[in-house]
Structure 1
Amino acid sequence: MLSCDRISKGYYLTDHSWEFNCPVQLSESAMLALVLGARIAEEIFPEPLRSRIGSAVDEILKGNNPDFLDTTLIHSLKVFAESGAVNDLPVFPVVFEAWQKHRRLRITYDDMKGGEPSVREVDPHVLFLYAREWRIKAYCHLRKEPRSFVISRILKAEMLPDTFAPDMAIIRSVTLDNIVGWRKYSNVKIRLTGEARKFALSHKMHTKQRLKREGKGKWLFTIPEVPEQVVVPWILSQRGEATPIEPPEIVAAVREAATAILGELTP
């Protein structure tokens, strides 16, 4: 049964074993935004979050079935993550819930540097997708400082009862120009030819990167700041159509990587 609460100005179920599902009425633009967001989320989030998102949208669609939103339209939107982001990540649900509820985590982490995995407690302030990996920016109680952790490298995760207050300084620190703690090189310059220009336009390594025409078929690509781990693989992927000019450290790193590849190819 329903009863009226005049103090709280609302109605409530007197039998808590009942469920009352009230359909949400949304405008066409709101429905389109909801479905588009769900389609994208289904392609970038691992299970079981992916299924939960799909189920939530299906539930809303039960009470909202506009003519413009047919099955063909929904399935004709294709999103390819082009990454391992949606691969099976056993610890992802625990990490996600801890981030959502501001709860501390105890994790066993393998930094992939050859040492033994470490056990530490962290407060996950930021959840983000970068370089084809889901990550968290967390305050690490072992190192006493904010650190980034790749979720696929977390071998075990346990949500602890301790809570934390979100730190806006940590949250704001995660930007395209300052995502991971790698050393950055300033004023990186690369000469581009052929099709490398179009790939430079589509690949954002810094918010203020720029292209300047140098002559017919030649462009100067300048990046204000970028880590070696980001720019060197990109240069190599351009198959000789991206030549580093400055700084010397980046030039040397590309030369070393190219020499190593050639050495492996030599009979």
Structure 2
Amino acid sequence: MSYTQKTFVPTRKQLHRFNSIVSLLKQEDTVSLNGILEYFQEAKDAAGVALTCGAKTVYRDLQILRETYKCPFEYDASHRCYVLKDKQWDLPVPAILNDSELFAAVMGARFTQIIFPASIADRIKDTVDALMRSNTLTTLTASRLESLFILSTKPTVVSNKHFQTIFDAWSRCCSLDVIYKDTYGNKNQRVIEPHGLVYHGVNWYILAYCHKTQKRRIFSISRIQDAHVLETPFEPSPEIIDKFVPDELLVFGTVRDIVVKLTAAGGNAARKRPLHPEQELCKQDDGTYLLTVRVAAKKDAVSWVMQQCGEAVPLAPDKLVQAVKDATQKLIKQIS
């Protein structure tokens, strides 16, 4: 008869006791049963729960440490104490987190499912799942997680293969050899240093130093046709990273010095759902509003104006005015 042996998964309180016992064994040359019991009388776990227990529990913990985790300690019968033979030995168990730390990990994993390709998101989810097996959320929040929904615009599809390669190069501070397709459809080979990664809107970007142009550049990951990690390390540049501002991602298809006239209802809507984080909204004497934005993506500006359902009229620049007219005429043509 065949059977599957159940994997031992310690409780959070057990993990705290295991860590405490190993810590005592490392600190002292010899540790007695009474010494462990006395330590547990005073000790508490991260949640403030006392670790107090009896001798049978400590014997069981020691047995698990020896048989399951292969802890290299011996019992000295003549002195009735335990001795750790290898002081460099570490307990191979998952991290012990408090509720706030565990909740942050769970929430982070939820968001990665939205913005990361599966190759990265699955790794993060597996790690958090392992943490959950040895940690338990004890607050009311735990019972509410299944009713928490995170809805987002679907990100631009990024090749798992390319993103994984880029992610590895960024995390290891190694250069990349890439084939990049520009906005005109031209492909060229470049060697770049990925100093930073940015998720903005629905796409991923690389803050990089480009060896071809010898300048700081920003590359859209969705335009990378092929990528290989070069075993050429680089030193992360604070200058390249710290100088980044989101408006740099609007290199192509931007409109500047935007002015939009809004009705009273449109002004209220613009406060709740702004066109741009740095927009300015000024109320006029007739009750209407003027919305101004220094720079924004043309596509985003046109979409925002159209979503106001007639409560917004673009006044400047001419490029935006014409783009809204074109979009309106196209819509009318399609539904006529």
RMSD, aligned α-carbons? 3.2
- The higher radius of gyration belongs to 2
Q: Give the AA of the match of 2:321.
A: V
In structure 2, relative to structure 1, the CA distance for the partners of 1:11 and 1:205 (3 Å cut) is: farther
2:210 matches 1:140: yes
Distance in 2 separating the partners of 1:33 and 1:228: 36
2:116 matches 1:45: yes
Q: Give the AA of the match of 2:95.
A: V
Q: Choose from 24, 45, 48 the match for 2:95.
A: 24
Distance in 2 separating the partners of 1:188 and 1:70: 43
Q: Give the AA of the match of 1:12.
A: W
Distance in 2 separating the partners of 1:199 and 1:10: 64
SS in structure 2 at match of 1:109 = strand
State how many pairs are aligned. Answer: 255
Identical amino acids, percent of aligned pairs: 29
Query: Looking at both structures, which has the greater relative contact order when contacts are Cα pairs under 8 Å and sequence separation is at least 6?
Result: 1
5+ residue gaps, structure 2, are: 1-69, 74-85
2:167 matches 1:90: no
2:113 matches 1:36: no
5+ residue gaps, structure 1, are: 14-19
Distance in 1 separating the partners of 2:102 and 2:180: 40
Q: Choose from 89, 92, 97 the match for 1:12.
A: 89
**Which structure features the higher share of strand residues?**
1
Is the 1:45–1:86 Cα contact (8 Å) retained in structure 2? no
Q: Choose from 152, 177, 185 the match for 1:81.
A: 152
Distance in 2 separating the partners of 1:45 and 1:62: 23
Superposed, which structure 2 residues align to 1:166-181 within 5 Å?
166-181=236-251
Q: Choose from 198, 201, 204 the match for 1:128.
A: 198
In structure 2, relative to structure 1, the CA distance for the partners of 1:178 and 1:149 (3 Å cut) is: closer
Is the 2:261–2:315 Cα contact (8 Å) retained in structure 1? yes
| Offset of residue 23 of structure 1 | 3.4
What TM-score comes out, normalization by structure 2 length? 0.65
Aligned to 1:60: 131
SS in structure 2 at match of 1:91 = helix
Q: Give the AA of the match of 2:175.
A: R
**Which structure features the higher share of helix residues?**
2
What TM-score comes out, normalization by structure 1 length? 0.79
| Offset of residue 87 of structure 1 | 5.7
Distance in 2 separating the partners of 1:183 and 1:10: 62
Is the 1:183–1:228 Cα contact (8 Å) retained in structure 2? yes
